[in-house]
Amino acid sequence: MLNHIAHKIQQIRGDLLEKKQHRSIFIANPKLAEVYAIFKNSPEGEWIIGKNDAAKLYGLLQTYAPQNILELGGGIGASAAIMAIAAPGGKITSIEQFEKCIDIAKKLTPPDILKNINFSYSEAHAFKNDLISPYQFFSGYKTLPIQDSPFDFVIIDGPGYWLENNQLVKLPNGDIINLLPRLAAGCKIYIDGRKQAVGIYKRFLRPYLSLIKENKQYALFERTSTRLLDIGEIKIEDAELAMRRATTPYFD
């Protein structure tokens, strides 16, 4: 119990320190602050990545210096612009399900940044992967740009919810399952919120994704070197989990 409390306190201290570092990232990088403000002050600005997460993302890209980035959920382009500033030599492919958002992104993104971003459209859809669970539906993008793989950084911030037969479809993102064979060993996967999805990845994708960090705001995974040429090869190694997967719904 005492260990648990000490661990929590340490975690809170770490998060506070991180927030302080994030504030200084904006102060030290006027270009980042200026571009963030363009998106934040636009009429659609309330949907963009939060300032703290933007600084976190910027710091991560500076640390890992990825060259081939995939963004799921480009929205109006704020996070893609931040990544393009942080990784100037990198190529960014950003998928979005609303063409209106892509149009806005292309208008708001400064031209010197836009040249490194490929905004592309894909419809969102719901799908299942029986290897993970015959009961669990996931959300994802119908057309993943696998021709541009292998990726060395993936950010998951979409798809947004959508309406189907007048019903709101609100599911955990499962694209990373299909993308596993297309990620370079060492690829970092940054997930904004999405606790339910993070729980599934931790539980079922352990051989392929190792957790680097998780807090209330985000989770960061790293693709292991366990090879996978096709998603049909996914192995759920924990026998007990496999049995439960086959016999009971994962989510009661």
Unique residue bearing structure tokens 């993936």: 154
In whole angstroms, give the CA distance from residue 228 to residue 12: 37
The CB-of-70 to ligand SAM minimum distance in angstroms stands at 12
Which positions ≥6 away from 95 have C-beta within 8 Å?
A: 70, 71, 72, 73, 74, 120, 121, 122, 141, 143, 144, 145, 158
- Name the segment binding ligand SAM (CB under 6 A); options: 114-122, 155-163, 166-174, 214-222: 155-163
- CA 236/CA 131 separation, integer angstroms: 8
Q: Which of 60, 136, 157, 236 binds ligand SAM (CB under 6 A)?
A: 157
Q: Is 160 a binder of ligand SAM (CB under 6 A)?
A: yes
Alpha helices in 2-131 (DSSP H): 2-28, 30-40, 51-64, 78-86, 99-108, 111-114
- Name the residue nearer to ligand SAM (CB basis): 163 or 229: 163
Q: How far is the CB of 69 from ligand SAM (least distance, A)?
A: 12
Query: In this structure, which amino acid lies at residue 74?
Result: G
CB closer to ligand SAM out of 160 and 199: 160
Q: How far is the CB of 103 from ligand SAM (least distance, A)?
A: 11
Of 10 and 62, the one with the shorter C-beta distance to ligand SAM is 62
Stretch of 8-16, 69-77, 130-138, 144-152 contacting ligand SAM, by CB under 6 A:
69-77
Among 60, 78, 117, 209, indicate the residue that binds ligand SAM (CB under 6 A): 78
Query: How far is CA 85 from each of CA 65, 88, 251, rounded to the nearest angstrom?
Result: 11, 6, 40
Token output for 43: 């009429």
Alpha helices per DSSP H over 151-194: 175-179
Q: Is 158 in the site for ligand SAM (CB under 6 A)?
A: yes
Q: Which is nearer to ligand SAM, 159 or 209 (CB)?
A: 159
**Which parts of 21-60 interact with ligand SAM (CB under 6 A)?**
44, 47-49
The binder of ligand SAM chosen from 68, 79, 129, 173 (CB under 6 A): 79
Question: In this structure, are residues 152 and 187 in contact, taking their beta carbons and an 8 Å threshold?
Answer: yes
Strand pairing category for 117-121 and 68-72: unpaired
Footprint of ligand SAM on 82-101 (CB under 6 A): 96-98, 101
**Which spans of this chain sit near ligand SAM (rule: CB under 6 A)?**
44, 47-49, 73-79, 96-98, 101, 157-160
